[in-house]
């Protein structure tokens, strides 16, 4: 089946390798449903504008319904000779309904058609992704709720810094994902604008009504410049950037899960169904899922780099370069969707080992800042109290014990402002409770944040 759609002006057929090189049907067939949606709206509008007869419209609708059914049943054979999804579908339509199929492309070009298809497709995928982000947030909140009072060491520089609630730590990721979701929602607004009607690049001579097509396709707005409409893929770059940031967030959580599951930390365990063994070392249980998420974050960032380079320096208007937008976009969506799905499930399979977390808190002088704050509240300037505590830490380190394990008389040898009540601030629980303000790690605040998120997510 040769491509008669545009081969009339050529003296020789396109070389086989060139067909393979320039064809996109292998991957853009994924857009078929959205291509049909766009075509049906275009045909309806052409009819309302008096360009297509009622009979032509009815034929197109019938033919497209058959094609849709053929695709669903896996009966439609995609042909590389027909280059891409648009020409494959148009040819099937013409095979089925005759001349009306050939009239469908009136006032339209593949340039505005493909730009419309990707936006229709991507806007649906963003809706799906937003739902999955929410699922993951819910699963993190469940874990946080069970661990409001679980004390773990908070780290800076990966050195024990101050005690934090494990629930608080989980909620940090809920916040990150909340911003990821905002970025998706915001980007969706710009995805949800209609290029259709821009035709090849300059618009069309037919009396089209773009408002009608936009309404039929549920677009929020219409692209207002035909050259821009067919050529820019900034919306795809924006989406991939938002996806990259989200993957970066998940790579951070992954790195923590991997560390925490290592016996050196022993903070958590991940359910067996998310781990694999080693073919040689019988004792191994490896955190493959978080490791792969960490790896796949690089893959998504690679797609962002690819797409942004694809756009760079492209002259107006459409260039074939833009066909290269699809595979990175598709792969980004696949990766993000799979990652979110598996992550929500995996977080439900995380078991926490509070005794090990607490033991780690007791090893790193995590309450040293609390002692310094205690002295400040008794009148010592902060810099002086910092020095006093540093000396006490040094002593405890030599004694191989925690600050809370030093006798009162020893503590008093560093400052006579210290009295019996010091032991309340030296416990991890005392340290947590003392940080009782918006955003602090005190259990009361963590509970408040959990409720705030539950209310937000219920909306
Ligand atoms: N397959 C093409 C793409 O993905 C469709 C648009 C082709 N337009 C053209 N003038 N060759 O961009």
Sketch the domain layout of the chain as residue ranges. 22-106, 111-146+164-208+220-355, 360-458
Given a cut of 80, is residue 6 above it in pLDDT? Answer: no
3-state secondary structure of 222: strand
Ligand 1 atom at shortest distance from the alpha carbon of 83:
1
Q: To test ligand 1's pocket by mutation, which of 114, 227, 310 has the most ligand atoms within 8 angstroms of CB?
A: 114
Which residues have C-beta atoms less than 6 Å from ligand 1?
Answer: 24, 28, 84, 110-111, 114, 318, 320, 322-323
Q: Rounded to two decimals, what is the model's pTM?
A: 0.95
Q: Retrieve residue 236's tokens.
A: 């795809």
Catalytic residue chosen out of the listed positions 2, 157, 279, 313: 157
Distance (Å) from CA 44 to ligand 1 centroid: 23
Task: Please report the pLDDT score of residue 189 as a whole number.
Answer: 98
- Is 169 an annotated catalytic residue? no
Q: What is the pLDDT of residues 244-253, one digit of tens each?
A: 999 999 999 9
Distance (Å) from CA 445 to ligand 1 centroid: 54
Given a cut of 90, is residue 151 above it in pLDDT? Answer: yes
Q: To test ligand 1's pocket by mutation, which of 323, 324, 326 has the most ligand atoms within 8 angstroms of CB?
A: 323
Q: What is the pLDDT of residues 163-220, one digit of tens each?
A: 999 999 999 999 999 999 999 999 999 999 999 999 999 999 999 999 999 999 999 9
85-101: average pLDDT:
98
Q: What is the pLDDT of residues 296-327, one digit of tens each?
A: 999 999 999 999 999 999 999 999 999 999 99
Ligand 1 atom at shortest distance from the alpha carbon of 326:
4
Distance (Å) from CA 118 to ligand 1 centroid: 12
Distance (Å) from CA 72 to ligand 1 centroid: 24
Q: What is the pLDDT of residues 251-282, one digit of tens each?
A: 999 999 999 999 999 999 999 999 988 787 88
Catalytic residue chosen out of the listed positions 53, 278, 351, 437: 278
What stretches of 116-233 adopt beta strand conformation (E)? 151-156, 159-165, 193-194, 221-222
- Is 7 an annotated catalytic residue? no
Measured distance CA(282)–CA(268) in Å, rounded = 20
Give whole-number Cα distances, 413 to 11, 395, 403, 418, in Å: 98, 11, 13, 9
Backbone angles phi, psi at 307, to 5 degrees: -70, -40
Residues linked to residue 156 through DSSP beta bridges, in sequence order: 159
Please list the alpha-helical segments (H only) found in 312-367: 326-348, 354-361
Given a cut of 60, is residue 390 above it in pLDDT? Answer: yes
Domain 360-458 sits in CATH at 1.10.40.30
Distance (Å) from CA 233 to ligand 1 centroid: 13
Buried-state track 71-105, b at ≥16 Cβ within 10 A, e below 16: beeeebebebbbbbbbbbbbbbbbebbeebbebbb
Is the domain defined by 111-146+164-208+220-355 classed in CATH 1.20.200.10? yes
Band of pLDDT at residue 4, cut at 50, 70 and 90: low
Give the closest residue (by CA) to ligand 1 atom 4: 323
Is the domain defined by 22-106 classed in CATH 3.30.450.40? no
Given a cut of 60, is residue 2 above it in pLDDT? Answer: no
Q: What is the pLDDT of residues 96-129, one digit of tens each?
A: 999 999 999 999 999 999 999 999 999 999 999 9
Distance (Å) from CA 244 to ligand 1 centroid: 26
Give the closest residue (by CA) to ligand 1 atom 11: 320
């Amino acid at each position: 089946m040769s491509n008669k759609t545009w081969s009339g002006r050529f003296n020789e057929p396109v070389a086989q390798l060139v067909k393979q090189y320039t064809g996109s049907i292998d991957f853009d067939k994924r857009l078929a449903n959205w291509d049909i949606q766009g075509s049906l709206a275009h045909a309806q509008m052409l009819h309302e504008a008096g360009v297509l007869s009622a009979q032509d419209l009815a034929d197109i609708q019938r033919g497209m319904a058959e094609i849709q059914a053929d695709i669903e049943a896996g009966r439609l054979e995609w042909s590389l000779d027909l280059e891409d999804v648009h020409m494959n579908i148009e040819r099937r339509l013409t095979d089925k309904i005759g001349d009306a199929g050939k009239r469908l492309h009136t006032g339209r070009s593949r340039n505005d058609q493909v730009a419309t298809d990707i936006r229709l497709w991507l806007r649906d995928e963003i809706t799906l992704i937003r739902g999955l982000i929410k699922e993951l947030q819910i699963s993190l909140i469940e874990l946080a709720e069970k661990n409001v009072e679980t004390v773990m060491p908070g780290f800076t520089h990966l050195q024990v810094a101050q005690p934090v609630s494990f629930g608080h730590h989980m909620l940090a990721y809920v916040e990150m994902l909340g911003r990821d979701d905002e970025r998706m929602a915001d980007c969706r607004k710009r995805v949800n604008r209609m290029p259709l009607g821009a035709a090849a690049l300059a618009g069309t001579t037919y009396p089209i009504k773009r408002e009608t097509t936009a309404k039929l396709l549920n677009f929020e707005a219409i692209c207002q410049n035909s050259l821009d409409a067919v050529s820019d893929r900034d919306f795809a770059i924006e989406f991939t950037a938002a996806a990259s940031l989200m993957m970066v967030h998940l790579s951070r959580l992954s790195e923590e899960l991997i560390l925490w599951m290592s016996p050196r930390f022993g903070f958590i365990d991940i359910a067996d169904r998310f781990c694999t063994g080693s073919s040689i070392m019988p004792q191994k249980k490896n955190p493959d899922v978080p490791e792969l998420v960490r790896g796949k974050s690089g893959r998504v960032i690679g797609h962002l780099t690819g797409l942004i380079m694809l756009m760079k320096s492209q002259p107006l208007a459409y260039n074939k370069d833009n066909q290269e937008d699809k595979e990175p976009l598709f792969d980004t969506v696949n990766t993000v969707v799979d990652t979110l799905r598996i992550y929500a499930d995996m977080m439900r399979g995380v078991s926490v080992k509070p005794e090990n977390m607490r033991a780690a808190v007791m090893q790193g002088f995590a309450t040293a800042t609390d002692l310094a704050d205690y002295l400040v509240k008794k009148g010592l300037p902060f810099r002086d109290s910092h020095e006093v505590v540093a000396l006490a830490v040094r002593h405890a380190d030599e004694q191989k014990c925690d600050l809370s394990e030093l006798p009162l008389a020893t503590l008093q040898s560093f400052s006579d402002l210290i009295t019996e009540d010091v032991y309340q601030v030296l416990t991890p629980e005392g340290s947590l409770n003392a940080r009782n303000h918006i955003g602090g790690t005190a259990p009361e605040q963590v509970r408040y944040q959990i409720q705030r998120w539950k209310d937000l997510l219920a909306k």
